[in-house]
Amino acid sequence: MFGLKPDAALELPENYYVLDDYEKGIARWCDGCGDHAVLASVQKLCREEQLDPVKTVFVSGIGCSSRFPHYMNTYGFHGLHGRAFPVACGIKHRRPDLDVFVITGDGDCCSIGAGAWIHAIRYNVNLTVMLFNNEIYGLTKKQQSPTSRIGTVSNTTPRGSILPPLDPMQVTLGVANASFVAQTADWNPAHMHATIKAAHAHKGFSFVHILQRCPIFQPELVNELTSNRDNICYLKDDNGITVSEDIEKTFKHSAPHDPSDINGARQLAASEEKIYLGLFYQGKNKENYDDYGAHNLGVTVEEKTAMLNAEFDKYGI
Amino acid sequence: MSDTTNIGSFFIEDAPEIQKVIGTEDVPLISSDFTSDITVPVLREVEPADEVEMKKAWKSIRSFFRNGNSKKSIKNSTPLLSLPYQSDAFTASDYPIWISDVVGDESCCRSLQELLTEAVSEATGGVESSILKNNIARIVKTVDESLAKSGEVTTFYSCILAALDDLAKRLSIPGDDGKKFDKHLKRLRKVIPTHGILVPYNSNAGFQIFGAMLQQETGRRSQQLSDKILKLKCKLQGQLAIDHEKEEQDPKELESTLSFASELLDFEKVSKVLPDAGAVQMSASRKKRLEDTIAKLEIADKLLKNKAFVFIGDDQKTPESPDWKLLLGDVNIKSFKKGAGYTTIKKAFEQEIEQWTLVIVGIQIAELELAGRYMEDVHDEYFESLTWRDFSEDEITSCPPFVLIASEEYIADSEMGEFSKILSKGIPIRSLVLKNDIEDAYKSNGVETESNFSYHQELGAFVISHRNAFVCQSTAIKPLVLYNELKNGLTVASPGAFFLLSSIRKKPVDSYMWVSAAVSGREYPGFTFSGNMNSHWGSRFNIDNNFQAENVWPIEEVIAQKGKEDETITAHFTYADFATFLPKYTSFFQDVEQCYWNENLLELAQYLKLDKEEAVGKVPFIWMADEKLHLKKVAVAWPLVLKCRERQDFWRFLQESSGVNNYHVKNAIAKAEESLGVIAAEKMEALKAEHQVELQAAVDEAAGQAMDNLSAVLLDMDAGTFVPGSGSSAPGKAIEKPAASEESDTPEVPTEADSPAISMAAEAYIDTALCTSCNECTNLNGSLFNYNDDKMAFIADINAGTFEELVEAAELCPVGIIHPGDPVNNNEPGLDALIERAKKFN
Ligand SMILES: Cc1ncc(C[n+]2csc(CCOP(=O)(O)OP(=O)(O)O)c2C)c(N)n1
Ligand code: SF4
Ligand SMILES: [Mg+2]
């Protein structure tokens, strides 16, 4: 209307947070570990969105990457190996007012936690999920993980691994009700940041597969990934992950892809030709299981007991 | 089988009980702590009623439409387009405003937001993101809150200092960020102005702006004028003094000034030989004229004490009216009785202007005199008969303005005749005509009768009809625009009328909303009309200060939620939408239940476009939303439709006058298109024919070339060097010159060898945007490398480390974004080896 701007009505929160407000302790990852980059990006996201630290929760399983909640000055839950998702879904179910992030590793998510992972995707609970994939168990000092490439020499596969790796992107895209599936790399901080930001803005299970450098146990892989620019291809679309022109130039290849096209997304994930970075798939207005979890939150325990007792009384003899 | 049906029916029967436990749509059980604020309107999915019921319902809808006798209240509903602003947290977007109280500031009226944005960018050195910059909204909000508490105009500097202290305390930013923030704050305190006042939005904001403008403008002008007069006076006095010097020197005077030499000089004799003696003196008449002129100029000293004359109608003494003395400050204020306004002000004007005529005459004579161009035979007579009508625009506007302030009714009831005289005689008297919502806000409870329904005074149009006055109709919604409109009105010599709508609702938010709706719904469209006699009629109008001035009614798309899908709804803001704010119109609105929606229910804006036959059987509606944000179609009764027509007609008058959808323009375009169409068709034919010929020629030529090329190849010649059109004039040459293709491959940019050697040292840098925050470089040397606000590395101080450290960091950096450049210190040991190692990264 005349002279009116809707944003003028925005209520300002009481506090203003700076990076320091989200930082805690000294991150004990190895020097040069990709996890540092993700941490910096997530802290920046918190500041950009001015997330209230007491209304933000980071839930993780076990692994190097899963130490993440310790370095965030928010609430956190460093849980059981492979069980980040059930904990996070539970939190979101009863506390829809909290912003819940899930940090998990390739071992944590795709190995011991695979069962929980599949169903969390289908439940499409409103979480921002980051899978740190270094293709190895880092914390326990180099055992093969389900995502390790054939021939990976590790403490459990001294003569090289033999099974083909599991691709988290293909798995996620294959599960019913998947709603946000993106891939990025920790060594392109601008692209990663844009991806995490888009994931956070999405309502539902936002899955970000992060190619993560472990220079200690996967030095050759890191070298190959970061130096061979021919392997990587930037997915370009207005509805996808967009970066500034300067950052776009850091990619040698780019390809168009409409993120509403799930079949195209599955093809990209299955392609052996290149590693695609960007938003593979986004479906809006999909069913969110947590929408059904919180509708009786205002009812007190006494009221619930009374109502249940009234029900039971009907069957009393 | 029977078991399952039993279980099924059990659930259905007990459903209400169960729903109490799990919660339903109607009994929202979510405690308010947990609800996320939903702002998207909802379009429910409702089955249409069956035919019989539909018929019955529509009978009553039609009856309502004819009579406007709704019993249902729409009190808790809001027009869809004003929905986003239904919040107490809403603050008027351009407010508070800063108004200068020192005469001579370049921009005297600015929004606080804009003023701060500029000051902050100066204080922070224009960096893209800084904590201070991200918190401008917070500062504005703090100021807003403190203004809301007092409800009054406040001095700017103390208020802003308090807000900045509050910000610093509230944020209490730790560490390096905090230090930087403090530094920025300190600088900000130095950059912001130390004078001026802050004005919040309230029902008096418009008057405040008028008062500030009047003080600024009259202050500036009287300052200019008194400077000018002082200069002229000095110069004239100088002339007289010189003349006085030219008079024969009196020996007595010499004696008194040179008394120390009394024993040496014979003053009688000396006086005869002094150089001035005997020079030509000015005529007696000129001398007298100069003296008279100085006397005239001196009148101004007294006159300038009155910066402006303001006459206020005695209806402006109600509790709702503003305290004019306070608002207008140092001006001459008088009050007048009903019906006596223009006669009083005119009389006062004539008296005052007579005095001013003397001053202006004085200035003109002085200027002529000083330029040596005064001719008695011409000018004596001219100045004898000079009146203010002969003044230039500048001269008129340099005299203090005469302003009459009264309500619209006051003027419409008893002043129209005199008002018209002032306007047609071109007497430069300004009228500030006030209108407010007093009737709607407090007094109205009854239903408006049809007889006074379409009565609208439209005094603005009345003034326009006098052709040569300045008119502006406006509101305080856009304060900066209003300031300039008023100022423009004061800088022309013609009579002027400013029409100002305000609202006196208790809460400023409600006032702002009401006025905005009045402008948007074309109840009170904004416009200016500059009645300059030498301009085109159309160019005198300006309607830019409206919401979507190009449309009949403002139109916007709203996204609503329908089930899980989004649905786009196109809604208009019509006069009827504004009328929902007026209690007296309640009975003209009736919510139509969603099960009765059908094709006969038509959006009002569409309905108004229909002709009589098309409209038969249709009922117009406007989109509204209730408290739960459920969308509603609210039917509008016929009497109100008529009123909408009337408002649309007035708005179309303004639009067409300003050239929007103008009848004549449309006709002219149609005609031009038609005739151009004929010409274009002819041209096209001609071009086609021409093209055909050219095409044929090209085909022929190409065929010829192809043949030539072919024969060249056959003759073992290099076809690549073949220049089209050159025929086969260069056979053989190409064979000798295989370098031809190489040449064409070379790009036309200077190669490295070509460019002159630059001896400047390459600077070290980091591709900061690509930094992965791995701590490698900052761990190596935290002074040389540092993180920015985004925790991305940059070279903080090149002198805080060695070249060796730079090279080492470049080697360590996992993403290779550190470029060591050339060493700054040429005395560092082992440089040659380091430079070699650095090469890879530069
Ligand atoms: C139930 C259980 N089984 C096994 C382990 C041992 N363990 C700790 S971390 C880890 C794998 C972590 O790998 P990943 O999730 O990829 O994390 P990274 O360290 O690579 O970031 C395993 C198997 C455990 N802690 N708990
Ligand atoms: S072992 Fe690998 S994943 Fe773990 S902290 Fe070190 S570099 Fe990072
Ligand atoms: Mg791992």
> pLDDT tens digit string along B716-743?
444 343 344 443 333 333 333 334 444 4
In the predicted model, what is the mean pLDDT of residues A132-161?
A: 97
Q: Are B501 and B475 contacting, i.e. CB atoms less than 8 angstroms apart?
A: yes
| From A288-302, B38-52, B151-165, B493-507, the region with the lowest mean pLDDT | A288-302
Q: Is the dihedral of CA B432, B436, B439, B442 positive or negative?
A: negative
C-alpha distances (whole Å) from B632 to each of A1, B54, B66, B80, B197 are 19, 17, 20, 9, 44
For B:321-360, CB contacts with A below 8 A are none
- Could you tell me which residues are beta bridge partners of residue B567? B560
Q: Can you say how many angstroms the Cα of residue B416 is from the centroid of all Cα atoms in its chain?
A: 33
Are B566 and B624 members of one domain? Answer: yes
Answer whether A30 contacts ligand 2 (Cβ < 6 A).
yes
Q: How far is CA A18 from CA B129, B384, B789, in A?
A: 12, 76, 9
Residue at A243 is within a domain: yes
Of B87, B477, B791, the CB nearest to A3: B477
Give the residue from B690, B723, B755 where a domain finishes: B755
Same domain, B315 and B433: yes
Q: A128-137, A256-265, B304-313: which has the minimum mean pLDDT?
A: B304-313
Query: What does the alpha-carbon distance between residue A37 and residue A15 come to, in Å, rounded to a whole number?
Result: 26
Q: What pLDDT is recorded for position B440?
A: 60
Residue B756 pLDDT level (bands cut at 50, 70, 90): very low
Distance, CA of B248 to CA of B233 (rounded, Å): 25
CATH of the domain at B799: 3.30.70.20
CA atoms of B98 and B567, how far apart (whole Å): 42
**Residue A166 pLDDT level (bands cut at 50, 70, 90):** very high
For residue B453, the model assigns a pLDDT of 47
Q: Does the residue A98 lie in any domain?
A: yes
pLDDT-derived band at B714 (thresholds 50, 70, 90) equals very low
The predicted structure's pLDDT at residue B245 = 74
Q: Which of residues 573-612 of B touch A (CB under 8 A)?
A: 573
Q: Does B764 lie in the same domain as B722?
A: no
**In the predicted model, is pLDDT for residue B505 greater than 90?**
no
Pocket test for ligand 1, best of A140, A143, A211, A213 (most atoms within 8 A of CB): A140
Residue B695: predicted pLDDT? 73
Does B654 share its domain with B691? no
Nearest ligand for residue A30 CA: 2
Residues B187 and B293 both lie in one domain: no
Q: What is the pLDDT of residue B661?
A: 85
Q: Find all residues with CB under 8 Å of B610, minimum gap 6, and list them.
A: B602, B618
The string of pLDDT tens digits covering residues B457-487 is 789 999 999 999 999 999 999 999 999 999 9
User: What's the pLDDT at B283?
Assistant: 86
3-state SS of chain B: helix, strand, coil percent to 5?
55, 10, 35
* Last residue within a domain, chosen from B755, B775, B801: B755
| Residue reference for tokens 């008529």 | B642
Residue A101 confidence (pLDDT) above 90 = yes
Indicate whether residue A222 lines ligand 2 (CB < 6 A): no
List B603's β-bridge partners, or say none.
B621
Domain identity same for B684 and B826: no
Q: Residue B791 has what pLDDT?
A: 86
> CB of B722 within 8 A of CB of B715?
no
- Please indicate, yes or no, if residue A13 is contained in any of the structural domains: no
- Of residues B409 and A99, the one with the higher pLDDT is A99
Q: Is the CB of A106 under 6 A from ligand 1?
A: yes
> Mean pLDDT across the stretch B274-293?
78
Check CB contact under 8 Å for A31 and B131: no
What's the rounded Cα separation, in Å, for the pair A271 and A169? 11
Task: Summarize the confidence of residues A158-180 as an average pLDDT.
Answer: 97
Q: Which of A167-181, A255-269, B275-289, B300-314 is least confident?
A: B275-289
Please tell me whether residues B585 and B459 are part of one structural domain. Answer: no
Assigned domain for B714 exists: yes
B212 and B335 inside one domain: yes
Q: Say what percent of chain A tops pLDDT 70.
A: 97
pLDDT of residue B666: 87
Chain A residues closer than 8 Å to B20 by CB: 307
Give the residue-averaged pLDDT of B266-291.
72
Q: Is residue B523, in this structure, part of any structural domain at all?
A: no
Least confident of B3-12, B313-322, B496-505: B3-12
CB B437 within 8 A of CB B623: no
Q: Which tens digit of pLDDT belongs to each residue from B438-465?
A: 666 554 444 444 434 445 678 999 999 9
Question: Quick one: pLDDT at residue A8?
Answer: 58
Radius of gyration of chain B (CA): 41
Tell me which DSSP letter residue A69 carries. Answer: G
Over residues B555-571, the mean pLDDT reads 89
Q: Does residue B217 share a domain with residue B366? A: yes
Q: What is the pLDDT of residue A91?
A: 95
CA-to-CA distance for B635 and B592, rounded, in angstroms? Answer: 6
Q: Tell me whether residue A177 is in a domain.
A: yes
Residues B473 and B609 in one domain: no
Both B49 and B164 in a single domain? no
pLDDT, tens only, B44-68: 999 999 999 999 999 999 999 998 8
Highest mean pLDDT among B19-28, B122-131, B213-222, B288-297: B288-297
pLDDT in tens, B159-176: 999 999 999 998 888 887
Rounded mean pLDDT of B662-682? 85
User: Closest by alpha carbon to B160, among B130, B177, B127, B136?
Assistant: B136
Task: Please judge whether B775 and A36 are an interchain contact, meaning their C-beta atoms are less than 8 angstroms apart.
Answer: yes
| β-strand pairing of B97-99 with B631-636 | unpaired
Average pLDDT of B488-508? Answer: 90
CA distance B223 to B29: 69
Q: Which of B128, B773, B780 is the mutation pick for testing A, counting most A CBs within 10 A?
A: B773
Angle at alpha carbon of residue A107, lines to A101 and A112, rounded to 5°: 90
Q: What is the 3-state secondary structure (H, E, C) of B260-326?
A: HHCCCCCHHHHHHHCCCCCCCCCCHHHHHHHHHHHHHHHHHHHHCCCCCEEEEECCCCCCCCCCHHH
Please check the confidence at residue B385 and state whether its pLDDT lies above 70: yes
Q: Give Cα A266 to chain centroid, integer Å.
A: 19
Furthest C-alpha separation in chain B = 150
Same domain, B383 and B400: yes
By the 8 A CB rule, do A46 and A17 touch? yes
What is the per-residue burial (b if ≥16 Cβ within 10 Å, else e) of B722-732?
Answer: beeeeeeeeee
More confident residue, B690 or B609: B609
Structural domains of chain A, count: 1
CATH of the domain at A78: 3.40.50.970
Number of domains making up chain B: 6
Does B57 fall in a domain? yes
Does the Cβ of A138 fall within 6 Å of ligand 2? Answer: yes
Out of B661, B684, B708, pick the residue that ends a domain: B661
The structure tokens 């291809």 sit at A233
> Is residue B171 within 8 angstroms of chain A, CB to CB?
yes
Q: Find out whether A179 and A124 touch, Cβ atoms under 8 Å.
A: yes
* Per-residue confidence (pLDDT) for residue B32, from 0 to 100: 35
Answer whether residue B356 is part of any domain: yes
Name chain B contacts of A12, Cβ cutoff 8 Å.
137-138, 141
Q: Which domain holds residue A254?
A: 19-287
Cα distances (Å, whole numbers) of residue B424 to A121, A168, B468, B532: 79, 83, 8, 13
- What's the CA gap between B254 and B262, in Å, rounded? 10
Whether residue B25 lies within 8 A of chain A, CB to CB, comes out as no
> From A32, which residue of chain B is nearest by alpha-carbon distance?
B774
Calculate what percentage of chain B has a pLDDT beyond 70. 81
pLDDT of residue B720: 40
Q: What is the C-alpha to C-alpha distance for residues B15 and A157, in angstroms, rounded to an integer?
A: 59
Q: Can you give the pLDDT at residue B710?
A: 45
With an 8 Å Cβ cutoff, are B814 and A16 in contact? no
Give the CATH number for residue B485.
3.40.50
Interface probe with A: pick from B20, B132, B520, B772, most Cβ of A within 10 Å: B772
Q: What angle do CA A29, A33, A39 make, to 5 degrees?
A: 70
Q: Is the pLDDT of residue B402 over 70?
A: yes
A185 touching chain B per CB within 8 A: no
DSSP one-letter code for A6 = G
**Residue A276 domain flag:** yes
Domain holding B745, by residue range, is 667-755
Any domain includes B251: no
Q: Quick check: is A129 in a domain?
A: yes
The reported pLDDT for the residue numbered B172 is 84
Tell me the pLDDT tens digit for each residue of B132-144.
Answer: 888 898 899 889 8
Residue A306 lies in a domain: no
Nearest residue in B to A227, CA atom: B815
Q: Residue B798 — very low, low, confident or very high, per pLDDT cuts 50/70/90?
A: very high
Residue B533 counted as domain residue: no
> 3-state class of B635 per DSSP?
strand
Chain-centre distance for alpha carbon B31: 43
* A310 in any annotated domain: no
B82-96: average pLDDT: 77
Q: What is the mean pLDDT of chain B?
A: 82
pLDDT band per the 50, 70, 90 thresholds, residue B708:
low
What's the confidence (pLDDT) of residue A283?
95
| Per-residue pLDDT at B265 | 66
| Mean pLDDT, rounded, for B753-768 | 68
- For A29-54, what is the mean pLDDT? 94
Residue B534 exposed, middle or buried by CB count within 10 Å (0-12, 13-18, 19+): exposed
Determine contact: A249 vs chain B, CB below 8 A: no
Do A298 and B29 count as a contact with CB atoms less than 8 A apart? yes
**Mean pLDDT of all residues in B546-557:** 93
**What mean pLDDT value characterizes chain A?**
93
